[in-house]
Amino acid sequence: MRATVGDRIVIHGHRIGEPNRDCEVLEVRGSDGGPPYLVRWGDSGHEALFFPGTDASVQHFEHSN
């Protein structure tokens, strides 16, 4: 996975009825856009390190400088 600051990562539910979860990339700690990422979860504002598995996908956004 490659991500940049501001991207959204979606973690897909593992069971029927389990909602998707999402977080925002605040920092890229790996090299060349790779993980781990410092992320902020939803509306809670909690920050954590994120190590993506196959259940996660990244949604890139165009960033303007």
Please identify, using beta-carbon distances, which residue of 54 and 65 lies nearer to another protein: 54
11 binds another protein (CB under 8 A): yes
Please identify, using beta-carbon distances, which residue of 8 and 21 lies nearer to another protein: 21
To the nearest 10°, report the CA torsion of 60, 62, 64, 65: 40
Please identify, using beta-carbon distances, which residue of 4 and 18 lies nearer to another protein: 18
Q: What is the identity of the amino acid at 7?
A: D
Residue 34 CA to residue 28 CA, distance in Å, equals 7
31 binds another protein (CB under 8 A): no
